[in-house]
Structures are given as C-alpha cells and as structure tokens.
Structure 1
C-alpha cells in the first residue's frame, strides 16, 4: 500500500491539464473499513493537501457523526476522490474530475482495500462509476433510493455550501437518510477486520423506492 500511495502521489499524467499542477490528495490504509469516494479536491484542499479540509468537509463530518480524529485516521477511513487533483474552475464551479485517475489507479487501490465494510458515493461521478446502470436518473433519485444499495453503498449528495437550496427542498435527507448513514458508519467502524456487514434493518430503510 505504501508503495502504491507513493506512486499515486507522484503521478504526473494530467500535469498539462491542471491549472495549479498535480497534487494528488487521498488517504488509505489496508485496514480501513469505511471508504469515502468524492469528486475532486477543491482549491482549498489542493493548498493544504488534506482531503475534505474545507466547508464541505465540515458538513460531511457532521453528516457522518464522527470527529476529525477519526475521519483522518487512515487505518479506519479511506478517502479516494474520482479525480485526485484539483481540476480547475469552470463557468459554474469546479470542473469535473479528470478521468485518468479512475483509469490509472482506482482498480489497483481498491484491490488493496480488502476490509472495506461501507462505501459512501458522493455526487454523480462516484455514483455513475460504482453503481453503473443501477443508479437512478439523477443524484436526487439515487440518494432517495439509498436503501436499494445496502449493505455495500450509500449514495449521497455533495455536502458543498452551494447545495444549501437542495437540502432545504429535500428535508427527507436530514430526517431519513442521515440517521441510517450515522448508524451504518458507526457499525462499519466497529466491525472486526474481515467481518461481513449485515443488511440495513427494515425499519431503517427510509425512503427507498
């Protein structure tokens, strides 16, 4: 794992396309039991080199119900964005994650993460990659049907402050999804290495379609 992480962090595959240059940001250990797959580092995260070290990360940790010390403990939590480097700005926010990361590194990294009990898929790019044809027509519908992807995955919207309007218009996310999310995160982090996750109890299946 250490050799692979060093190789990823030295990657220059997209150097010509990255406005701030390559700085892959990720966190992983073979013992991690929770995997968080996001979009790509923000400009703030690019500057610090610390994953989710911004307002979106603060919101995400609130959702998960875990402290920074746990979140940044690589022996428990792996963090793998779809694109490892800041992709630059577009007309309405950051550009999409570059595809080279998934093509070059995802399969090799996932092969090392043998103890993952729960994978959180944040945003459309992670959901498209991991769920394929099982995802719904958009992020809202996919998140609303979260129980269909148990016990392996929980799809989530992006916790960016830009999405405040989405949260206001979909109060079921706070009332139905977050309690199940926190329960399953705690269960995953408490699992002994190699244990098999169980299905979400029927009473906790929220707004599954």
Structure 2
C-alpha cells in the first residue's frame, strides 16, 4: 500500500534567512520545492506525476502552474541559483577552505538542495555551468589568500589550478554519488562525510608533499608549451 504523499522537506527546514514554513509558501512555490526535491532524488527524468505526488496534488495542477516540466525545471534552476547566492552570503565568515557543496550540506536550511545541484552537474546545462563558475571563483579567492599568507605555493597559472582542483573535487563526489546511487531521501551530508573519509588524506598528502620528487616533468611540459606558443595564461 502506497504511503501518503509527503510535503516537501523544505517546508520544515529551520535556521537562516531561508526558513520557509509551509504556510508561508504559495501553492506555486510548494510545487516548485517539491520538484526540486524529486529532481534531486531521482534526476530530471522524474515525471510530473511523481512531482505532483510529492506535493500531494494532481499532475494537472502542476501543468496549470508551470505549463510543462521543462518550464518547471527552468523555475527550479533559477530558484536554486538564488538560494545558493543566499547561502554564500549566510556563510560569510565560515571556514574559507570549505567548499560550496559542503557548506550547503552542513547547513540545515540548504542541505536539501545538494541533491538537485549534484543532479545538475550530472546532466550539465546552464545551472551546472553557473554553479561551477561560482565554485571556481571561490577556489581562486581562498587559494590566493593561502598564497598571500605563505601556506600555499604560487602557481604558474592560478586560474587553471583553481579550475582543476574544483573539477577533481566535484568529479570525484559525482562519481561516488553515481556509484552508490543514493536514491530517494539520500543524506547528502553523509555522502560528503564519506567522501572526506575516503579522499581527504590522499588529497592532503598530494597537496602537501606533491607526487613527483622533482619538477623535471613539469618543466619539460612547460618548455614544450613555450615552444608551441601555448604556455600558461599567467606565467
């Protein structure tokens, strides 16, 4: 026997400026939040019927408010991007080395968004590109600060280094998610904690001590780039 449809988890979150009690949301906003949860749980192939069931309404009402699943997805993307910007503002003063995803997952009012964000990265698109750009910009800022403080080495191409580090972090987390297939009601905060348990030590070892015993491989490649005129953007 099927259980009764559950209201979006976002309706019960507390803390920060994003507190959204169910009574304060319009019907359209409740449907939007239900869609964010369903898309985050199972991906963007989720049906309108599944979204309607999560919200406890008919599929026809979802179409009435949004016109189509594609238009609903666009509204969800816009809302998630706005909430990410809000979360960044709320986290000012937090550990500058913390990633956007870990900050969101550990903040009760935003953890429910992480599944949607990871599904966005898996599927690509405008929101994924926008969020990735935010993460790279953040990485550049805190790495530059580490260089200024003398706790990190300078780079021949700081922008490329920040993009690479962000790509490897997001990519390894996305791979873990896909391998585990956490499914409905996934605990993305726990997933991030498992990622840390498995990868933090080797990552810090590489960042602290490097991999090669000297810079001969790097120098050979830099010399090759110089010969071809395709050197780093910021030598």
Q: Same fold (TM over 0.5)?
A: no
More strand by share: 1
> Which has more helix, going by share of residues?
2
Higher relative contact order (CA 8 A, sep 6+): 1
Structure having the higher Rg: 2
TM-score by length of 2: 0.27
